[in-house]
Structure 1
Amino acid sequence: MCMGGYFKTSSNTCTKCDKSCATCTTAVSTCDICADGYYKSSDKCIACDKGDASITGVRNCVDCAPPASKTGPVLCYLMKGDVIDPGKKSSLSGGAIAGIIIAVILVVGGLAGFLCWWFICRGKA
């Protein structure tokens, strides 16, 4: 058995797959799974910015998938120059959190005031 990125030849030696392949099992350029930056077209992996017979590559695309219809441009997930910041989380700003807290306090205070009026003032009548 060969490590990932390699396949076993008929002479029982492990040979490195093509750089476009993450895994291959029968030949250097016959890919099972494509490497990052490539999409699968038949049994080959094509760079995201390159085209194939009926699929058009997208310039500066570095992460993609082939179109579902097998024709037209690739579905580009990441363009060269796009920045992914793993430390940045989508969250509410401090002002939004403060606004929510104030709104909750006002609602709870209003409800408490209404209940006091209902039981105390209405009880005397």
Structure 2
Amino acid sequence: MKYETQKVALPFFMVAMALFTLQILFGLLAATVYAWPNFMAEVMPFHIMRVSHTNLLIVWLLIGFMGCTYYLMPEEAEREIHSPKLAYIQLAIFAFAGVAALVGYQFGIHEGREFLEQPFWVKILITISF
């Protein structure tokens, strides 16, 4: 790497790959429930699996794009990133908001609107992280 602060991108990519794995898992679970409707019907309903799968797709892509930005920005600007600490704080806030939303879905804590299910405080955290 040409710039030391390009290493900031690695945690973003690691989190993105972990979320991608979760997305695949929820997708496989949802496909199984779609084929066998009584599979896990009491533990986790299909609509919770579907919304988890869809939101994980969006979140891992966004985190991956953020990581790409932190990797490419120093080369484009031809200088180090001003504050790698802020990048780590951004990742922590966004990851916490994503995990809180995902756990909230499992316990029925959502606003019940299609693809906008996060509670208001999670939406605020997501906005702050950008």
Q: TM-score, normalised by structure 2?
A: 0.20
More strand by share: 1
More helix by share: 2
Q: Which has the higher contact order (CA 8 A, sep 6+)?
A: 2
* Bigger Rg, which one: 1
